[in-house]
Amino acid sequence: MAAQLQTMALAGAKPVAAPRRARSQLRVSAVADVERVQTNGNVRRGVPEGTPVVPVRDLPSRPRRNRKSETVRRAFSETVVHPANFIMPVFVHDGDKNIPIDSMPGVSRLGWKNGLVDAVAEARSVGVNQVVIFPKTPEELKTSTAEEAFNPNGLAQRTISLLKDKFPDLEVYTDVALDPYNSDGHDGIVSDEGVILNDETIEYLCRQAVSQARAGADCVSPSDMMDGRVSAIRQALDSEGFTNVSIMAYTAKYASAFYGPFRDALASVPKAGQAHRRIPPNKKTYQQDPANFREALREARLDELEGADIMMVKPGLPYLDVIRLLRDNSPLPIAAYHVSGEYAMLKAAAERGWLNEKDAVLEALLCLKRAGSDLILTYSATEAAKWMAEDSPSWR
Ligand code: PBG
């Protein structure tokens, strides 16, 4: 009977829909045989009435066999995310209270002395032991040349020292760029004609990186996209004796609309121009065009040559192809920044009950890893690590 059915299948025999009324009769004859064949000798129990009676398909391969139980699914899972892969970005301010950020529910500007320390302790308790610090600079300390960026007693520097003091084994990353300190709201110094000055900016980025290293930073992360800044920062660090301080380069950072909530958090939106000074309204002369793919490879080759230790792609989810490009073209660790706007989108949908937050967030993080990133910068770090510890064996 089995052979006969196979021949029928090969000859393209049409599936026979079991007529509803005749079903009990069929069970004793044709259906029983078909079921035995389909289930490899075990008679199939209970199918809804109306289920067609068909011959077994002669398939050379059935990928579903490798998904048939939770145990085999876990055994064959190609990607695993650990809290150890996460870097938690933290916003700090020079006050005591934590101030919620409207466009990032669940995220606050933390008081650098207390709120921050509590948040880091909580993250560490669930296995997240890496943070990147973003200071909110008071408006009165911002200037067009952003010297506050390398003030040895600046908020970033104080925060780094405090964290390294409290948690010596915490990996502290910093952001190297002028925008949180620049009254014009750009990552570099803006000339009166509205040009973001490259080489002049690099001089200050080097001072900023060295001052962060002096405060105890483990890894400095240039996010400014100036040309040649990685090699300049490497030399500046080395010449000051900081050969152990790493550089995570924002290699492919796109001029993206997904940074909106971050700029709310730090009040770092590019400022409006004035009569005598033109200030570009966007960052397109230094951040990459979202349309471009090959350009990311060009940046990656330079960052590698210039001595980057880690290369980053930012944003994350809309740029999975770029993460994969870098993964396939460099032996360096790759980081993905799951940015503020991506966080806000997921939160907003979850708040409305349109997405299951836990499942959606864990899937997003898993996919960033699958695309090829080793590290994931995410505002969901602590929450995700808690979910991962709680249950979801398939995520571990
Ligand atoms: C600025 C910087 C930005 C982010 C990290 N560093 C914003 C920007 O380039 O305007 C964005 C992070 C996020 O959106 O979560 N140097």
Taking only the tens place, the pLDDT of each residue in 270-306 is 888 777 889 999 999 999 999 999 999 999 999 999 9
In 3D space, the residue among 131, 285, 103, 269 whose CA is nearest the CA of residue 193 turns out to be: 285
Q: Is residue 78 one of the residues assigned to a domain?
A: no
Q: Is residue 68 one of the residues assigned to a domain?
A: no
Which residue, by CA, sits nearest to atom 6 of ligand 1?
Answer: 223
Provide the 3-class DSSP secondary structure of residue 217.
coil
Is a pLDDT exceeding 60 seen at residue 362?
yes
Is a pLDDT exceeding 90 seen at residue 3?
no
Q: Supply φ then ψ for residue 374, to 5 degrees.
A: -90, -40
- For the entire predicted model, the pTM comes to 0.87
* DSSP state letters, 89-149: EEEEESSSS-EE-TTSTT-EEEETTTHHHHHHHHHHHTT--EEEEEE---GGG-BSS-GGG
CA distances from 355 to 28, 174, 346, 390 (A): 46, 33, 8, 20
Label residue 127 by pLDDT band (50, 70, 90). very high
Q: Is residue 3 one of the residues assigned to a domain?
A: no
Q: What per-residue confidence (pLDDT) applies to 184?
A: 94
Q: What per-residue confidence (pLDDT) applies to 17?
A: 53
CA of 86 to the centre of ligand 1 (A): 17
**Which CATH number characterizes residue 103's domain?**
3.20.20.70
Is a pLDDT exceeding 70 seen at residue 37?
no
- How far from chain centre, in Å, is Cα 227? 24
Bridge partners, 393 (sequence order):
none
Instruction: Let me know: does 378 contact 88? Beta carbons within 8 Å.
Output: yes
Give the structural domain span for 379: 83-391
Tokens of 107: 């995220």
Q: Which residues, 6 or more positions from 315, have their beta carbon under 8 angstroms from its beta carbon?
A: 254, 256, 258, 259, 337, 338, 339, 341, 342
205 pocket-lining for ligand 1 (C-beta < 6 Å):
no
339 pocket-lining for ligand 1 (C-beta < 6 Å):
yes
Q: Is residue 364 one of the residues assigned to a domain?
A: yes
CA of 224 to the centre of ligand 1 (A): 9
pLDDT over 90 percentage in the chain? 83
Q: What per-residue confidence (pLDDT) applies to 266?
A: 83
Is a pLDDT exceeding 60 seen at residue 25?
no
In 3D space, the residue among 250, 261, 308, 229 whose CA is nearest the CA of residue 132 turns out to be: 250
Q: Is residue 339 one of the residues assigned to a domain?
A: yes
Q: Which atom of ligand 1 is nearest to the CA of 187?
A: 16
Split into its structural domains, the chain has a count of: 1
Q: Is residue 181 one of the residues assigned to a domain?
A: yes
Q: Is residue 4 one of the residues assigned to a domain?
A: no
Cis, peptide link before residue 55, omega less than 30° from 0: no
In 3D space, the residue among 52, 78, 57, 55 whose CA is nearest the CA of residue 1 turns out to be: 55
Bridge partners, 89 (sequence order):
132
Q: Which residue has the higher pLDDT, 298 or 37?
A: 298
Q: Is residue 179 one of the residues assigned to a domain?
A: yes
Q: What is the mean pLDDT of the chain?
A: 90
CA of 138 to the centre of ligand 1 (A): 18
Q: What per-residue confidence (pLDDT) applies to 14?
A: 54
Q: What per-residue confidence (pLDDT) applies to 263?
A: 87
Name the residue type at position 354: W
